């Protein structure tokens, strides 16, 4: 593990502190980790990928493999970073509650005049974005964790019960992952749960999740 590093990528309107509990859990198991800080509120996808590339330049060549663990929009940013830079030593990826099939809530928000122009990452969350079956096509070893606790007013009003209150399970699974698992958590807290951390470690170690019988 000490020859590898895990890059933690936060989601929309969050920062590196949002991944702190996950980072601490992974570090306790001996993993090297690095949490990024990306402009996910006002920056567009190119700005987010550029910031990611800049922050990862200093670790280039220092580790045997570089793994990625991302929450929500962070998964889409990671995919675009990998497509752009094509790193040779990429390991496994775990995307938590990432809307590969787009977000219905983002689609609703985009209809508010000026909203998408100000909060530019919203454009990447629309159902028209081309992330369906992207993992199967890219050859990446990707694990997807999706939540199914539909918490919050917006989720109950606009999404099906089979969602995490922000992202529907079908959207999270649309990427065509190597393996996937559903956990009983909402979007805002799923990446901060001990069970999630354990599943992340399982996938990074062996390429599959610990499925219950």
pLDDT tens-place string over residues 35-69: 999 998 888 889 999 999 999 998 888 999 999 99
What is the pTM (predicted TM-score) of this model? 0.89
What range defines the domain where residue 108 resides?
4-206
**Whole-angstrom distance between the N-terminal and C-terminal Cα of the chain?**
28
Report yes or no on 47 lying in a domain.
yes
Report yes or no on 147 lying in a domain.
yes
Report yes or no on 212 lying in a domain.
no
Q: How confident is the model at residue 194 (pLDDT cuts 50, 70, 90)?
A: very high
Query: Among 11, 3, 21, which Cα is nearest to 193's?
Result: 21
Token digits for 56? 């990862």
Query: Among 168, 158, 33, which Cα is nearest to 98's?
Result: 168
Q: In whole angstroms, what is the distance from residue 23 CA to residue 6 CA? A: 9
Query: For residue 115, what pLDDT is reported?
Result: 46
Report yes or no on 213 lying in a domain.
no
Report yes or no on 211 lying in a domain.
no
Query: For residue 154, what pLDDT is reported?
Result: 65
Say if CB 10 and CB 21 are below 8 A apart: no
- pLDDT: is 160 or 188 the higher one? 188
**CATH number, domain containing residue 45:** 3.40.50.1820
- pLDDT, mean over the chain: 85
> In residues, how long is the chain?
213
Report yes or no on 68 lying in a domain.
yes
User: How many domains, the chain?
Assistant: 1
Q: In whole angstroms, what is the distance from residue 78 CA to residue 52 CA? A: 8
Report yes or no on 189 lying in a domain.
yes
Report yes or no on 23 lying in a domain.
yes
Token digits for 63? 């580790």
Say if CB 136 and CB 72 are below 8 A apart: no
Q: How many angstroms from the chain centroid is the CA of residue 143?
A: 10
Q: For 134-185, how does the pLDDT look when each residue is reduced to its tens digit (9 = 90+)? A: 666 577 899 999 999 887 766 566 667 788 888 889 889 987 889 999 999 9
Query: For residue 127, what pLDDT is reported?
Result: 63
């Amino acid at each position: 593990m000490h020859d590898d590093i895990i890059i933690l990528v936060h989601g929309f309107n969050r920062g590196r502190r949002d991944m702190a509990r996950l980072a601490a859990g992974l570090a306790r198991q001996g993993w090297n980790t690095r949490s990024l800080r990306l402009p996910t509120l006002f920056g567009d996808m190119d700005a987010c990928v550029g910031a990611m590339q800049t922050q990862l330049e200093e670790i280039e060549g220092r580790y045997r493999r570089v793994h990625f663990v991302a929450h929500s929009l962070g998964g889409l940013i990671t995919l675009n970073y990998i497509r752009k830079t094509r790193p040779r030593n990429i390991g496994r990826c775990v995307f938590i509650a990432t809307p590969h099939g787009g977000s219905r809530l983002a689609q609703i928000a985009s209809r508010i005049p000026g909203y998408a122009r100000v909060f530019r990452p919203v454009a990447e969350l629309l159902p028209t974005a081309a992330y369906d079956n992207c993992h199967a096509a890219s050859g990446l070893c990707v694990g997807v964790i999706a939540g199914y606790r539909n918490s919050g007013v917006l989720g109950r009003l606009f999404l099906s019960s089979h969602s995490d209150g922000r992202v529907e399970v079908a959207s999270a699974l649309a990427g065509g992952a190597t393996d996937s698992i559903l956990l009983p958590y909402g979007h805002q807290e799923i990446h901060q749960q001990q069970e999630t951390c354990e599943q992340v470690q399982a996938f990074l170690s062996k390429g599959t999740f610990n499925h219950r019988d």
